[in-house]
Structure 1
Amino acid sequence: MTTSFKRHVLVAALLIATAGAGFAQGDTGKAARFYEDALQRYDRKDYAGAIIQLKNSLQQDKNQLSVHLLLGKALLANAEVANAELEFNEALRLGVNRGEIVVQLAQAMVAQGKQAQLFDDARLKPAGLPPGVLLKLKLVLASAWSDVGDNRQALQAVMDARAVNPADAASWLAEVPLRVRSRQFKEATAAAEQALKLAPDSAEAAYQKASILHVQGQIADALQLYERSIKLDNGNVDAHLARAGLLLDLYRDKEAQTEIDELRRLAPNDPRGTYLRAQVAERAGDMPAAKAALKRVTELLDPVPIEYIRYRVQLLMLNGLSHYDLKEFEKAKPYLEYAAKQQPNSPLTKLLAQIALAEPNVPRAIDLLETYLKSRPGDGQALLMLASAQMSQGRHAKATALLQEALQAKDSPDFRAALGLSLMRGGKSADATAELERAYKADPKQIQAGLVLVDMYLKAGQQAKALQVADSLAKANPANPTILLVQASARLRARDVAGARAGYQAALKIDPKLLPAQLGMARLELTTRDFAAADNRLRTLLRSDERNVDVLFELATLYETWGKDDKALGYLQSAADASSPTQTRANYALVAWQLRKGTPGGALDAAKVLLSKRPDDIEALLVYSQAQLASADFAGARATLTNASRRAAYDATQLERIARAQLDAKDLAGAAYSLDKALQGSPNFLPAMVLMSTVELMQNDPAKAERRARQVIQGWPKAAIGYGLLADVAASRGQQAAAVDALRHAYELEKTAPNLLRLFRAQSQVPEGGKAAIELAQGWIKAHPKDTAVQKALADAHARAGNFTAARHGYEAVVAQQPGDLEAMNNLANVLIRQKDPGAPAVAEKALALDPRNAVVIDTAGWAHFIAGNRDRALQLLRDARLRNPANPDVRYHLAAVLAQTGRSGEAREELEAALKSHSFASADDARQLMSTLK
């Protein structure tokens, strides 16, 4: 038999009784009148009024047995269950027959969550109880056994009750939910039909039969029986609730609303009906009403001690879900945990995992989901959540495997989008792009997949594809200003100024005060170098909020581009100062500024402020280590990066970045540790495998490096990188021919300029390989005449070989295409010097104009002028170069040669002595020859 809402005692403090006015102790007449009035109120179900009058009666005489008994019943009906138990105990003390209160006492204990205590409580022993009382007690005990999870004992208690009176429908009704819980629908149906046979006009029996049909998916029949139950007893709250919920599932919201309105009239304080009101309001888009209803659920259930409803899964779920939907995760958690204990490995586990992720307590979420999936291995949502959790820990290989498992069960765009993100974070950009493309093609509503695709296409230089996706997103979501902004930004990056302007203006039309759109317009004006317009726009925005971090940041960017560094730095510092503890963009930019401008002290100060905001953030630790390295604090940088590696968990992408920084900090062991950790979490993360092979080579372990390289070749047989690693190993062993062979394999797999250049340089170092190298480069240039990198490398090779005519032609070809190529221009000047070409000084001066502070370029210009006979200009330039780079022996020899020719032999000797401390340099023989003339 299912008990009603109030018999389950769900809300403990809805109506608070107040004591009546004091009366003189011992007035038996008044006591009797109070009792009679209370009895009438009790019969009318005015339980709060009855309680007041009964307490008034007890003020006259505290030992009235009948008053304590009725007060216990009234308190029980009014959900004041702990006080009810006290009154029943007092009635027992005063000598009431146990049969009068035993059922109600058991109900009060159940309502307090004391199910386990019922079974051994001497007050509840069945011996000596009247048959009718015994039957009811057995059914309460059956419910208690079911609550604690012992279905066998529960069914035995039902059978014991039935043995008392098989013709009583109550035992048959009590059997139904026990059978349904065990998925024994045939037995449940038989019990419900027997109950209907014994009590054909029983609203409860009709309700129970309907519940079986409902669970089995026989919706039309279930609805019919719920309606019959309501006709038989309109006060059957459970039937109204079930019918309303079923109608909502069928999206018959209007009919459902009628039922919910009736529930509100019948049981205004029933949290179940209130929760349904929240669902209806949310579906209608009335979020304030939905939030108010959820809040009301929590107001009804929060005052009830959680132990009272620890076995009432439905109520635990209602309050847990209500708190969860209100973003009150800490309050939701205990209710959902109690409910999950009653229903282990149910979908409730996923909610608890979501809370753990929000806390964040990712390891707890992973434990919950892994346990859940052992019993429900095909749950795609759980697999998706677990994959996301693993991704957050850097375990991209595990995340990918989970998502692939989910896709085997169901090919879902959601799963494909998540798989794409996992692959992207795992460094597999091509595979990631393919999965995201499939997800977006299958479901254009996958907005996140579309937005990520736009970003990936832009990073890969595939602007046409990026614009295609951005345009389709905007077409499908024309009123979404965020998507319009993405579209405009994509067009701006594609140099489509008109399209970008149209996008930003469209977003501003939807929301004229949309700051990102205004900032986008400012960036557009900056791109078109309309500095004044951008300045005016940003200053106007700043007037309305002078501490707006985004506006200050854009002003800093504007002024730096404008060439006004002082103003730029001032605005950037203001942006950093105005940033909240959670805002760090300006802090990062300030560190980058100081590093870019060559002020390591300022960079370190700015990095310390950043790290104080994000002491555990990997990116902040990496930036801090850069500032430490710029300040030559290698020990400090190593310590910072060790900390970063520990905090990166198993995020392979982060750990690979940390390892690269550790190599900059000369921490070879630290880099090896970080990479090993990355590969534990993602064994096939290619960037970590590649860098680990390099590190193993640096650790003088070519055998390990070779094994790693061959693993890469096995895993990516069509990629060049594995053969490149093999070439590094061979070169470290002095096996130049093997290195060339490996690089030839790499070039055949991926015919790119970088692969060709590696092969070209390796061939150039092999005996008899110079001709083949030159032919290789010449063939490439013939097919790619605008490839200046290969053209320059070939010219360098000709210069080293003394073929200055060919070298000159090569450098001239590069300079013709790229007049700003400093290296090519300087090398051309050196070749002209070797050819004693009178045009050498002019070319050298052009190189000098490109970088007036470069000591090597200054030296070339000085030597060119010296060879051309311009000694004054030569001396001026070479003294400058010497001061800028005194450690360069060639510069000191060149200066000495000029000094010697101008009669400054003492100074010349000093320069030569310093130069000759380096025994091997290009001009060493000439320097020794010159020194011999000065002795």
Structure 2
Amino acid sequence: MPENTPPRSPRHAKFCALTLTLATLLGVFGPHQSLAADAKASKYYEDALTRYDKKDLDGAIIQLKNALQIDKNMLSVQMLLGKALLQNGDVVAAEVALTEALRLGVNRAEVVIPLGQAYLAQGKQKLILGQPQFSLAGLPAAVQRELLLLRSAASADLGDLRGALKAIDEARAIDSTLPSVWLAEVPIRIRARQFREATEAAQRALALAPDSAEAWYQKGSILHVSGDLAATLAAYDKALTLEAGHVEARVARAGLYLDLGRQPEAASDVGELKRIAPKEPRAAYLRALLAERDNKPELARSALKDLVGLIDPVPIDFIRYRPQLLMLNGLAHFGLNEREKAKQYLEAFQKTQGNSAASKLLAQIYLGESNVDRAIEVLETYLKAQPADGQAMTLLGSALLSKGHHARAASLMQQALKTNDAPEFRTVLGLSLIRSGQSGNGVVELEAAYKKDPHQTQAATVLIRLYLRSGQASKAALIGENLVKQQPSNASFFNLLGMARGESGYLAGARSAFEQAIKLDDRLVSPKINLARLEIASKSYDAAAARLAAILKIDEKNTEAMYEMASLSDRRDQAAETQRWLEKANDLSGPKETRWGLALSDFHLRNGRPSPALEVAKQVSAKAPDDLSVLMAYAKAQLASSDSIGAKASLTSATRVADYNPVSQLQIAVLQLAANNVAGAAYSLEKALSGQPDYLPAMALMTEVELRQAEPAKAEKRARDIVAKNPKRAIGYSLLGDVAIARGQTPAALDAYRRAHQLEPSTDTLLRLFRTLAAQDGGKPAQLLAEQWMKIHPKDALTQRAMADGYARTGNFIMAKTAYEGLIKMSPDDSPALNNLANVMLRLKDPEAVKTSEQAVAKNPGNPNAIDTLGWALSQSGQNDRALQLLRDARLRDPGNPEIRYHLAVVLAQTDRKTEAREELEAALKSGQVFESSADAGALLKSLK
């Protein structure tokens, strides 16, 4: 068991000795005030939950808002409020509440579906397909299925029918036994006029759910567009028999009755719609049609006003993917002679259905505005699809007569490249290749140009920057020295020379060059910034701050200076200032500038904020999709956001871009392993070793990869090669030990690990040996080894943690308590250690367990394990009201954790919420995970039935 694996015991597996990497992924949400919420707020929530279950949405929303008046950070309140608002039709407020719940730490699986529904209702389809929070990665299968259906709907709205069907196929791959995964296909097929496929999908749904009103309605929709009106009516009748409140079926049947001239039946359905859906705009349009047929123009006009009164207040972006509503509101405004407003909706409708008859109305509006060109364009497009439409042909003829014939000439220009060997052309060619992403070939051309003519200063300056970027500072310095000899009065060349000298370690020479550049041209900002960098590096913080402030006083949009201000703030541990400067620099960056975005993404990752890191990385990727640094940053952010699929794709691109650079390929391989792409890591390492066969870090990592690929013979051969080439290094023996462990050869592993530790005594070699000894004699040899090491290295926190975990794992809670207390003395802010200590105290029935677990939560407020431990400790001390709130919070953050759900169920049962307790226990036991309280969970579930 790795040193950071949580120790286990029969009652409570809630130790969370997390690695540093995992801890950074949990996020920091600031002081978690909701953990100490007022009891009255909790009562408001429980009452709201009861009202919500009884469909009293208005009452539930009032009570939830009352709770938020007391404590706005109650995660469970924000979550339920979002769901209630969504069901009540207030989608904007629902999005706000659900987003706040996500910020507070609710598990994405809990919020992604209602949040996606809120986005769809607002016309934010592109965001559903593009935002990281709607990624499938890391979600349970059932949630992935529902999210895929949402993504299908979004793709269909955007006109991507192929993508919509692909998403449905992926949903069916998860579970094809649900009617929803078949019904989702029907409207897409209808839109594509693929009626046979639509019918097959509807029949599959009906076979699975013969009493589904939605399935019968969808079948009726297919029959309707196919022209079988008698069968259509029968299907709609069946749907409404099964569910009288099915609005879509009621609207469709009323419209069909009108088409058939059966006005009394249509009026009956329209009247029912007014009762069950008073805010349904299509019902208002049907009322207008009925009034018009009854020759009641004032009543028709009143109905049209009702319609526009319902749709106009809604921002057009909210309904831009609802063509029926766009068309109806356009027609209504046209009927009310409100042409400007009609144009807005008809134009939006035309973007989704360009070949409809609405084009003719638009053309009339354009002609009325004397916008003849636009009218011609619309009509010509329409007539390509409907060449026999006489009205459209007449309108187009009128437009052409009023405008006259004109020809559109488009001349395309091509730029030819000259093939002579003039150095200036090679310079241009080199720059062109670099800008198109072919930097390797571009450097070759620039070097050839500079070699042939050292006065090719443009080639020289670009080469200096490229050499500095690739770590070839000495080459850059040589060219810089030549430049300043050629042009001793050129301040920019002295600045470049200073940069090259600084990268090569000649700091005094760098300062001298920068100062000479400023002396030659005081207006040049770059050498001033470079001097500030030198001052930051030498800890002359006040001097650097003054220099940068002077630059920004003259040019408040200088992003270079802003970045250095961020670096300075970071050195001074001023996180908020660091973020402010980075965000400001990134906001002001140009369309090709990636540095500030990369720095901001890295800052978010370092501070445990994967979501904003990913969002920034994505924005930067749009600027430079083939840049190696961008690809690596994007992959890191994707990994931190649990999007291993996306990370694999980014790293595959990075492997291609990195070519055979061993250092870059090694970094890519490490990230590929983090993405669980062992084959990808192997490929990157093969490229690294092709470029440098004896590159030790790549050889060592390839050995580990071969072990993961179940190829111990290859791994052993490579490890022995490392030993042969590096006989005095520990790494080869450590790897031989790993090979022996993989083969189950514990004695051989111990010999290898001991040899490694003898050669290079370190925490790494000790912990390998410790882990192997932990399985022997109840872990006593391992503990003795760690205790002896700690006497010599009393500040080794990693070994102290391993020792503490070992005591807890073997049930020696008294020693574990002492060891964790020692670890906390070394690292007072170590939330996992505090949480583990609290769990040990629970075993020992120590009344200080609550206090210690509160400290763990205070250090890491978003950690569901720590919150659960505090809730469980409170329940053990009889504080069930507060425990219930905390355990609800933990369950929302980590719904896949059966132990948390069991703890919540215990407190729910104790507070007489038996139905909810049963739901939590059933979910925990169906999770398929082995958890320590499973037997207790089963017994409790039986007692509640």
TM-score range relative to shorter protein: 0.3 to 0.5
TM-score, length-scaled by structure 1: 0.45
TM-score (norm 2): 0.44
Q: Which has the higher contact order (CA 8 A, sep 6+)?
A: 2
